Chains A and B, each alone.
Chain A
Amino acid sequence: MTEQSAVTLVADVIPGREQALAQVLAELGRDPARNEVVPFGALHDVHYARLVTVEPTVLPNGRPVLGKLVYMADVDGPADRHLVRLVSLAGARLDRVFGHCVDYPVGRRATQPGRLAFLRARQVPAAATYVNTTGRTVHEIRREARLRDAIEEFLDRGGDWSRARPAEVREAIRRFVAGDRSLSWATAPRKSPGVVARVRAALDLVPLPLALLAVFPLVLLVLPFYLALLRRAELTDAAPIVRPDPRRVDALAALEDRVAQNQFTAIGYLKPGLLRQVTARTILYLANWGVRHIFNHADLTGVKTIHFARWVFLDGGRRLIFGSNYDGSLEAYMDDFIDKVSWGLNAVFSNGVGYPRTNWLVLDGAKDELAFKYFIRNHQLPTQVWYAAYDDVTALNAENNARIRDGLAGDLDEAATTAWLRRL
């Protein structure tokens, strides 16, 4: 099984070059799949990719920080392999983008190894990542979508099926698929995860519960003090309700609702102090474990529209950047957050400055509907370049397509056949 990786590169932008960089990004953004700089469509391992800039600022501790160029990609296979492919595809054209960044190799150092070394050195690990379905590759999603379309068209051509028995319909579909050379791959059963992958998953699963068990007495001891500190912070943290600037909302909305999916990128400061730092890191650590082992198949506590998401700390943990790819509109996405996973969002984002007031870490917060929606828009960044490899396939579609394919192989009894036919 090919596991997906969340590649994140963070590079400092040379002061004064922000405008020029924005222009190049605008050029890429006009046609992310086929532009002349980095034609993402030619990278067959990429589900989603984006380039976003973060403006220079002064941290709350008074330290000025340079602007940043952030590259995020959700890819099949190891992150490093993706970087190698990226450099070999774009080559010197990468200079037009990253050439605006500090320490990018120029002159004689501007070689392929030099570029690769630069990108490798800019990698930042995610504090947590979410993958809708572990191991589902771009290649599979695309060809299973084509398979489903072809079967639907076959059924349309067949006219009236109402007098056929379910097994007859399935058999006709199987014959059609087997007889079409571009589809016959689908008749072979899907390879199940190998022993190595399963052992690795088990090894990844076990340590956290064991560690929790081991430190449980200590946790019990510390918990009352932690809760007292948390409550004091929750009751005194500022939670101002600030309506977003309408021009900002319009600029963000202009990038949305063009295909079946949308991108979301947001950045914010963590509240100062150890309490929030520890809380955010602990929750994200737990979340990362939870999405790998519990919510790893097409359903995040009832939210079935998120393809990928990640949380990455910046500036030594002073800031947190979040990026996701989801189906449908931002309004529906935010409503899902509020109605279905507010506890999870609260636990992470209430450590951020300006978040609506929570109680006991998980209660209220996002439930303050408009305050939460304003917070979202106020922290959102325009995603200047966004590539989506299968922009008309929702997560629900991809899951259904995979089940259609799986139902082609093997024997099914009448009930299973009927259930399978319902997927069409």
Chain B
Amino acid sequence: MAAPAVTARLELGDIQGLVARGYADLVAARYLLLAVDDPTACRRWLASLVDRLTDAATRPDRTALNLAFTSAGLATIGLPEGALAQFSHEFVTGMTDANRQRILGDTEESAPERWSWGGPGTPAVHAVLMLFAVDDAALSALCAVEEAALAAAGVSVVRRLDTTNLDGVEHFGFRDGISQPIVEGLSKTGSAPPGTVVRAGEFVLGYPNEYGLLTDRPLLEPAADPGGLLPRDAGGSGQRDLGRNGSYLVFRQLAQDVRGFWQFLDGVAQRSGGGAQARTALAAKMVGRWPSGASLVLAPEADDPALAERNDFAYHAEDELGYACPLGAHVRRANPRDSLDPSPGTEKSLAINRRHRILRRGREYGPALPQEQALEPAPPDDPERGIYFICLNANLARQFEFVQHTWVNNHKFAGLYDDADPLVGPRCPHGATFTMPAHPVRRRITGLPRFVTTRGGAYFFLPGIRAVRYLASLDAG
């Protein structure tokens, strides 16, 4: 069933800007993890902050500011239990829930007990304030102002997460963030390949999703909103919609073992008599793209920076068997495009894929480490480096968690056996493999170590601007 052609008119002025854009021009960013000590003072701070939050209608050229809450945070500032319980179960129980750890692969070295924040042994996180600026000086100035306001409101900064600008390349050395869903009402949809425009309700609550339905969201009795601050439920229930124009924000600190990655691949390449080129080619097979970003489907033999921006390709139609881009490659499993059952290569397949998309907004942290240097042994004080993985979606279970569990971490993905994501996946107890279809028979890497470890994380809710105003107005009494 194709989504109707009508474009949802998004209330851009009520949607936080991070939904509409990743602020690529604002190259400096810092995330402040916050804990609320005094709910009353915190609500006063919120009331003044709300006018400084960046909305989706404006394209900021110097600084931007966005705010999201954990479920513990919403409870602490005074949202009643009944309202909180209407948020999604995944959000309410949180990222570190025992069952969720299996879904997300947060076990063993990635277990929440070992996290540096967000885990059971670290201080509670109630909110994240995300600050973006055009340069470091502007970011420092913005932080100084905001941190002073926080201190005055009895909101403590649990942790400052500083980012590194690697010019759109992630630490393993690959262009990142190329393939984002094209969102109806947010993106330019004119040149989008057929079947790839995703309905706004997949990312913003209160609008029709890919099923043509409104995803569940917290609805309040009109009496709970005496000031009339909240929008009416678009579903026509007469209730007030606390979720409208909001989105669930997934935040994960993922450490990347850049040395481990390149040294492992170097060993594999050397055993088959290859050098630097073979090493990079193996890495590209695992990623599914070349360092420039060019897809292996379009450039099967060698990198071609001219193809870096091309995202209009399909897997089933162009490389069904994975000879160019292996079925288990990272980008092919994170977004399988037209290769899903029951009818790969058709609109039906694309329609199923559209129900499992996420908007990625992450940034890197830690110092860059070029490939050649990564082959050197680690110095004793080698700093941690990785990505602050941030994504937005309306249904955590069907979007972020599904992608993570059924596609990325699943060693049985696409009929495979022991192949979890070669780049970011956890490893099966009996050994992880990476299978590369080839002539006359597959090539296979065995004994893959884990290259990415979860170091922290939480589920947040990124409310609409009016919802923030409502939260500021809550009376704890």
Interface residues of A (CB under 8 A from B): 148, 152, 155-156, 159-162, 164-166, 168-169, 243, 246, 249-250, 253-254, 256-258, 260, 301-304, 327-329, 331-332, 335, 338-340, 367-370, 392, 394, 396-397, 400, 418, 421-422, 424
Contact = CB atoms under 8 A, between A and B. Distances in A.
Interface of B: 85, 89, 92-93, 97-99, 102-103, 211, 213, 215-216, 272, 321, 341-343, 351-352, 355, 397-398, 401-402, 405-406, 410-412, 415, 417, 430, 437-444, 446
Given A331-B401, A331-B402, A394 B412 contact: yes
Contacts of A392: 430
Contacts of B352: 335, 339
B338 to A, nearest CB: 14
Given A335-B398, A340-B341, 19 more contacts: A155-B444, A161-B441, A162-B443, A166-B440, A243-B216, A254-B98, A260-B411, A260-B412, A301-B342, A302-B341, A302-B342, A327-B412, A328-B412, A331-B405, A335-B402, A339-B355, A369-B211, A370-B215, A418-B439
Contacts of A369: 211, 213, 398
Given A152-B444, A257-B102, A257-B103, A422 B412 contact: no
B446 A258 contact: no
Nearest to A332: B406
B272 to A, nearest CB: 6
A164 B99 contact: no
B213 A257 contact: no
A418 B398 contact: no
Contacts of B411: 260
A164 B438 CA distance: 12
Contacts of A169: 440-441
B446 A422 contact: no
A250 B443 CA distance: 41
A340 B341 CA distance: 9
Nearest to B397: A331
Given A250-B93, A367-B211, A329 B440 contact: no
B446 to A, nearest CB: 6
Contacts of A161: 440-441
Contact of B438 (A159, A162, A400): A162
Contact of B444 (A156, A327, A329): A156
Contacts of B446: 156
Contacts of A397: 412, 415, 417
22 contacts: A155-B441, A155-B442, A160-B272, A161-B440, A166-B439, A169-B440, A246-B89, A246-B92, A246-B93, A250-B93, A250-B99, A257-B102, A257-B103, A260-B411, A327-B412, A329-B406, A369-B398, A396-B415, A397-B415, A421-B440, A421-B442, A422-B442
A161 B444 CA distance: 11
B408 to A, nearest CB: 12
Nearest to B411: A260
Given A246-B92, A257-B102, A400-B415, A328 B410 contact: yes
Contacts of B272: 159-160
Given A328-B406, A332-B406, A424-B442, A304 B341 contact: yes
Nearest to A159: B272
A260 B410 CA distance: 9
Contacts of B85: 246
A246 B99 CA distance: 13
B440 A396 contact: no
A335 B340 CA distance: 12
Nearest to B356: A335
A162 B278 CA distance: 15
B72 to A, nearest CB: 15
Contacts of A253: 99
Contacts of A162: 438-440, 443
A422 B437 contact: yes
Nearest to B1: A367
A349 to B, nearest CB: 18
A365 to B, nearest CB: 12
Contacts of B398: 331, 335, 369
Top 7 A-B pairs, shortest CB-CB distance: A302-B342, A253-B99, A166-B440, A396-B415, A332-B406, A421-B441, A257-B102
